[in-house]
Amino acid sequence: MNLNVPPPPQPPNPQPSRPATFAAGAAPHLPEHHPSVAFGRIGVLIVNLGTPDGTDYWSMRRYLGEFLSDRRVIEVNRALWWFILNVIILSRRPQAKGKDYATIWNTERNEGPLRTITRAQAEKLAARLGPQDDRLVIDWAMRYGNPSIASRIEALQKAGCDRILLVPLYPQYAAATTATVCDKAFEALMKMRWQPVLRVASPWPDEPAYIEAIATSIETSLAGLDWEPEIVLASFHGIPKEYFEKGDPYHCYCYKTARLVRERLGWPEEKLKLTFQSRFGKAEWLQPYTDKTVEALAKSGVKRMAVITPGFVADCLETLEEIGGENAEIFHHNGGEKFHFIPCLNDSPGGIDVLATVIRRELAGWADLR
């Protein structure tokens, strides 16, 4: 599968109606020879998981090394894991993953689709919300890879943002996703002399605008087919079962989202089923597993299936290649006939509506947005 996404249109970048920077002597309340300072603006930083800089071995190794070294992602003995990661995994996995990324790579911009889409989301949010408050500066970053969280927080501060809203792009909180974004942001703040005030957007598993957007995307996508699926899977990224047992609320958030979407659609429970994908290693993860469910349903006689991934706000390797490629192949190989992947909300009007709703809610008291 090849994803050639054209460059998104460049929306106008709203300019502040007041100067954001005051040099020494430029304002009556600053003494002569005072260092130039920038202040008075509000930053919004949306952050997604990340993407490698290329599909070659070394780009993939850097990306996987950073990702799999995160202690919130892999909670095992550090000495043992260091050996497994550096001696075994990073000597083999980069080649295989590079080939997977190559099937979805945006060759026109020479970047992964997650970077293309996240950039477009930030640009469209700026076009949507910027005219409502000229203090807003909306930017984007990746937890792993580039642009880094630290570099964008620094850029926002230099642009005069003394208040920043951090928006981890995960509707359902998990320690391995939302929390690690916060860790990295606070790590960046630890090195700053003048820290901006930081807010973190809360997750939105039951946000009405989000539930409506997911349900509408299902209805719209299925309406374009000349067949009707017998079952639709709502596939969420999995986490090790041990993390759930230690108190991670992710499992419950996913089930709540799936239930609300099903209720909005008016479907019976057997029509929309929840599964978990992307497990890694030998430990038990949250079940039911997506790939095993797809295989079992095909073997049981199900001929028509659709899959949506509500926990992802943008299409990436786990949706385009794992669901649209690997799981479609599993379904067909085991007797299934028609398989349809429903895209993520991405930078669609519905997707931007959801993110704008979250940002408006979280900026209350800082900015009055419509």
The pairing of beta strand 21-22 with beta strand 37-38:
antiparallel
How far apart, in whole angstroms, are the C-alpha atoms of residue 317 and residue 101?
7
How far apart, in whole angstroms, are the C-alpha atoms of residue 365 and residue 276?
38
Question: Inter-axis angle of helices 349-362 and 113-129, to 10 degrees?
Answer: 60
Q: Is 34 annotated as a binding residue?
A: no
* H helices, E strands: number in the chain: 12, 10
Q: Is 230 annotated as a binding residue?
A: no
In order of 278, 301, 334, the CA distances from 292 in angstroms are 12, 15, 11
In contact, 5 and 108? CB cutoff 8 Å: yes
Question: Inter-axis angle of helices 349-362 and 208-223, to 10 degrees?
Answer: 180
Residues 6 or more apart whose Cβ sits within 8 Å of residue 266: none
Nearest to 310 by CA among 274, 279, 338, 362: 274
- Which residue positions form the known binding site? 237, 318
- Which residue positions form the known binding site for Fe(2+)? 237, 318
